[in-house]
Amino acid sequence: MTTFVGDYPVKVDAKGRVLFPSAFKKQLNEAAGNRFVVKKDIFENCLILYPYDEWERQVKIIRSRINPYKKEHAKFLREFYKGTAEFSLDSNGRILFPKRLLELVDITKEIVMAGQDDKIEIWDKAVYDSQSMGEDDFADLAEKLLGFDTVNDVE
């Protein structure tokens, strides 16, 4: 499994191409190759880039929990797959993002590619820079989510 670490500002050219950061290339595992799937995030106004092996893992999780013959589940699947795109890095190590996806999350000329464990978030740079949480707020959230009182509290 690939683990992505770091955040990198990158320019988007007029055709929607982005040079994939070399640090992320080094972090890719062999199984991932250079195939990716990108889609709009469910919760935030950003794109999510999955190495293909991680995308397959995510789809397997969904398939194990979804019955496509239930109306509500079928609606979820339609929305989940809406706007996805598969691609490979070109010979120059670039990604060509579909314009419709860049427009969907208001990306223009500068992005930040932020490693988030097994995926990469892709943000408009101005939006990403404005998302910063204060140190005290982050410490409070860390304590709330991870600060168990005793060993028995661990789920």
pLDDT tens digit sequence for 90-141: 999 999 998 999 999 999 899 999 999 999 999 999 999 998 888 998 899 9
What is the pLDDT, as a whole number, of residue 32?
64
User: For residues 82, 99, 129 and 58, what is the CA-based torsion angle, rounded to 10 degrees?
Assistant: 30
Please name the residue that has the structure tokens 């950003």: 46
Sign of the Cα pseudo-torsion (54, 127, 85, 104, in order):
positive
Cβ-contact 146, 153 below 8 angstroms:
no
14 is in which domain, residue-wise? 7-127
Over residues 58-72, mean pLDDT: 95
* Number of independent structural domains in the chain: 1
Residue 44 binned pLDDT confidence (cut-offs 50, 70, 90):
very high
- What does the pLDDT look like over 73-103, one tens digit per residue? 999 999 999 989 999 999 999 999 989 999 9
- Whether residue 1 is contained in a domain is answered as no
* Residue 149 lies inside a defined structural domain of this protein: no
pLDDT band of residue 34 (cuts 50, 70, 90) is confident
CATH number at residue 74: 3.40.1550.20
Among the listed residues 56, 60, 57, 47, the one whose alpha carbon sits nearest the alpha carbon of residue 121: 47
112 falls within a domain: yes
Mean of pLDDT over the chain: 90
Confidence of residue 33 (pLDDT cuts 50, 70, 90): confident
Is 90 among the domain residues? yes
Percent of residues, the chain, with pLDDT higher than 70 = 93
Question: What per-residue confidence (pLDDT) applies to 13?
Answer: 93
Question: Is residue 152's pLDDT more than 80?
Answer: no
Q: Is residue 118 part of a domain?
A: yes
Residue 45 lies in a domain: yes
Residue 141 within a domain: no
Q: Do the domain assignments include residue 134? A: no
Residue 54, pLDDT above cutoff 90:
yes
